[in-house]
Amino acid sequence: MRIDVVTLFPAIFDGYLTQSLLHKAIVRGLVDIQRHDLRDWAQNVPHRKVDDRPFGGGPGMLIQVEPTVSCVRDIESEILSQGELPPIRKILLTPQGKRFDQRLAEDLATSERVMLLCGRYEGFDQRVHDILEPEEISVGDFVLNGGEVAAMTIIDAVVRLIPGVLGDENSHQDDSFSRGNRLLEFPQYTRPREFEGHFVPEVLLSGDHAAIAAWRAEQTQIRTRARRSDLLDEPT
């Protein structure tokens, strides 16, 4: 999978892409993450400015349409020049977009080419949306300073689903929300067996795999009902 990230702050990703699972996935060639500094497409060359005040007044600045559209088109033509490839999924991060969830992560993990457009300030000029027609995705009903943390959230959730990225291929199968399950994962325990009077449930020490599976299935239902009953009520 290749992921292109368009951002005004490419360095924000430095630490994140050089640690842990993401770093290993990149080193092993399971994902190629390319960052593009939108300022490289600035029309205003000496100052590399890509934002301006909104027509009609109001606070803040907007990211301009020309550099953004040029940048996206250049990335698309560079990718197309590599031959017959599946279409690139263009995603623009915005609090006004469709809510990101595990289902969408699973869907994106089947794509070979994804582009993430990170906004800043008051966001993008509306014509970026109209001309590029990206999928618009939000990571939640709150407002971040920029799309970079949202992009990292999406990359993190998607890359771990690429076959070979997790050490144990089955380790995300039981995760909350996974494989179309509208359920939360069961409680888990590790050593020690007892801590300050809190004991590991006996069934997990029994070695009886059928009993353990039944207990986990029951706990999954209990936990979901207690914490997120809305998930059980939603149509699948």
Which sequence positions are flagged as catalytic?
A: 95, 122, 160, 175
Tell me whether residue 144 is annotated as binding.
yes
Tell me whether residue 65 is annotated as binding.
no
Tokens of 146: 């920029």
* Shortest-Cβ-distance residue relative to ligand SAM: 119
Do 153 and 42 touch, CB atoms closer than 8 A?
A: no
- Please state the closest distance from residue 118 (CB atom) to ligand SAM, in A: 5
In terms of CB distance, is 71 or 183 closer to ligand SAM?
A: 71
Tell me whether residue 140 is annotated as binding.
yes
Q: What does the binding site for ligand SAM look like in residue numbers (CB under 6 A)? A: 93-96, 118-120, 122-123, 138-140, 142-147, 150
In terms of CB distance, is 25 or 150 closer to ligand SAM?
A: 150
The residues, any chain, with a CB within 8 Å of residue 21's CB and separated by 6 or more, are 159, 160, 165, 166
- Please state the closest distance from residue 229 (CB atom) to ligand SAM, in A: 25
- 143-148: long-range contacts at Cβ-Cβ below 8 A with a sequence spacing of 24 or more? 143/95, 144/95, 145/120, 146/7, 146/8, 146/9, 146/12, 146/118, 146/119, 146/120, 147/7, 147/92, 147/93, 147/94, 147/116, 147/117, 147/118, 147/119, 147/120, 148/7, 148/9, 148/12, 148/13, 148/118
Tell me whether residue 50 is annotated as binding.
no
In terms of CB distance, is 94 or 220 closer to ligand SAM?
A: 94
- Please state the closest distance from residue 153 (CB atom) to ligand SAM, in A: 8
Tell me whether residue 74 is annotated as binding.
no
In terms of CB distance, is 64 or 220 closer to ligand SAM?
A: 64
Q: How far is CA 3 from the centre of its chain?
A: 11
- Please state the closest distance from residue 88 (CB atom) to ligand SAM, in A: 18
No. of H helices and E strands in the chain?
8, 9
Binding-site residue set for S-adenosyl-L-methionine:
119, 139-144
Binding-site residue set:
119, 139-144
